[in-house]
Amino acid sequence: MPKEFKFPDLGEGIEEGRIVRWDIKEGDKVEEHQAVGEIETDKAVAEIPSPFSGTILKINFKEGETVKVGEILFVVGEKGETLRQAQGKMRPAGAVGYLEEAPEEPSEVKPPQVPPSPLRKEPTILTTPAVRKLAKELGIDLGKIIPSGIGGRITEQDVKNTVTGIEKPAMVVKRKYDMWGYVDRIPLKGIRKAIAKHMVEAVSHAPHVTVMDEFDSTELVKMREKEKGKAEKEGVKLTFLPYIMKALVPAMKEFPLVNATLEEESEEIIVKKYYNFGFAVDVDGQGLVVPVLKGVDLKSIFDIAKELQDLAEKARQRKLDLQEMRGGTFTITNFGSIGSSFATPIINYPEVVILGIGRMKEKPVAVEGRVEIKPMTPLSLTLDHRVLDGAYAIRFLNSFIINLQNPEKLLKL
C-alpha cells in the first residue's frame, strides 16, 4: 500500500526548503528512519529520514528544486509494487493514506439506483494548504479542477492552469542589461532571503538607536595570553568572545532591561532571568546564522570557549539543529573579525539589544598626562528605544567595560 511522505511543518516560520541531494533513486529499498537525502531551509541543512520501510515508487522533486510545506517529497510502496500498480489498486481516502478498493460485483447483479441526497457530502478534495490558499486568492473553485497529482491530488500547477492566460505560461524575458550596461541577476533565496525578511521585521517593529564606545583591552589581552596555552592542551581555541560573554552577565544583572523582549500584544516588557547569548557566524559569505549558547552564567570561560567552537563549526557546515538557534536573549556580532571598527547592527528581533564588537587596534591614548600605546576595542550597542533609553544603555555599556578591564574577576564568576 503506497505511503506519501510530505515535507513537514518544522515551525519557526519555515515555509519551504530546497533539496540539496538525494541518496536514493526510484526503485531503491529503504528502511524506516533511514536518511535518504538532505534539505536546506532558511535555518539549516537537515537530513531527510524515511518514515516508512519499503520501495521508493516516486520522487517528486529533483536536487536543487524547492518544496513547500505540505507537498509530497516521495512515495513508498511494497516490494515489487510500481506506482502505476499502486494507483490502480488504491483510491484516495482523504488527506492521509489510501483505502483498498472493493472487488467489483458480478455483472448480472446490479446495485439499486439511489437518488442523490441533498445531505450527502461532496467528495473530499485532496490538496495541500498552500494550494487551497492559492485557489482562494485566485477565486478558483477546487471542485471544478481535474487533478493531475498522485492519488488524485490537485497541484499548484493545476490551479494555475485554470486561470485564463496561464494555461501555457508565457515566456518571461529577463534582460541581462539595463539602459546603462550589463547586469547579473542573483536569486534572493535560502539564508539571504530569510535575513531579508527578518531585517525588515526588526526595523519595522523597533526604533533603533546605536551608542558607541571603546575600551582599553590591555588586561584582557594579558589574561587571554596567560590562559591560551592551557586551553590548547584541552583542545580548545580560546578567543576573546568567552570573556565578553562572561562580562555581560553581571552588567545585565545590574541593568536587566538589556536582557528582555517586548510583548506587544500584552504591552509588557518580559525581563529574562536566564542568559542565552546568540553569536553571528558567517556562512561562506552567503549570510549569517545565529547559534545560541545557553546558560552563559552557569559555565566557565573554558566551557564557553569549547561550546562556541563546536557551535560555530556546525553553523559553517549547516548542521545546526533548530533548537541550537532558539531561546536567545541577547545577540553579539563580531564584525571586527573581518576588519571593521564601528557599525550600527540591527537588533535580532524580538530581542531589544545587540552588541557589535569591532577590530582591536593599538592606538595612542592619554594616560595621566602622558601618551601611551594601548590595544583599544570598539563597541557598538544598538537598542530598541521603546524599551531602553540612551542613558540606560550607556550606563550598561560602562558597567560592561569595567568588567572587561578587570578580567581576573571573570574567572571567578
> What span, in angstroms and rounded, lies between the C-alpha atoms of 243 and 250?
12
Instruction: Please provide the DSSP assignment of 54-104 as one string.
Output: EEEEEE---TT-EEETTSEEEEEE-TT--HHHHHHHEEE-SSS-EEEPPPP
Contacts of residue 87, defined as CB under 8 A and 6 or more positions apart, other chains included, come to 2, 150, 151
| Residues 6 or more apart whose Cβ sits within 8 Å of residue 297 | 249, 274, 275, 413
3-state secondary structure of 393: helix
Closest Cα to residue 46, out of 31, 25, 60, 67? 67
**Exposure string over 319-329, b if 16+ CB within 10 A, otherwise e:** ebeeebbeebb
Residues 389 and 395: beta-carbon distance below 8 Å: no
Q: Which of 152, 169, 173 is nearest to 72 (CA)?
A: 152
Count the residues in the chain.
413
Strands (E), 228-387: 260-263, 268-271, 277-279, 281-282, 288-289, 292-293, 330-333, 353-357, 361-367, 370-384
R_g of the chain computed on alpha carbons? 29
Residue 198: active-site member: no
**382 contacts 356 by C-beta, under 8 angstroms:** yes
Compute the distance between CA of residue 388 and CA of residue 259 in angstroms, rounded to an integer. Answer: 11
Strands (E), 286-359: 288-289, 292-293, 330-333, 353-357
Burial string for 41-67 (b: 16+ CB within 10 Å, else e) reads bbbbbbebebebebbbbbbbbeeeeeb
Of 198, 205, 208, 385, which residue is the catalytic one? 385
Contact assessment for residue 271 and residue 256, using Cβ atoms and an 8 Å cutoff: yes
Q: Which residues are catalytic?
A: 385
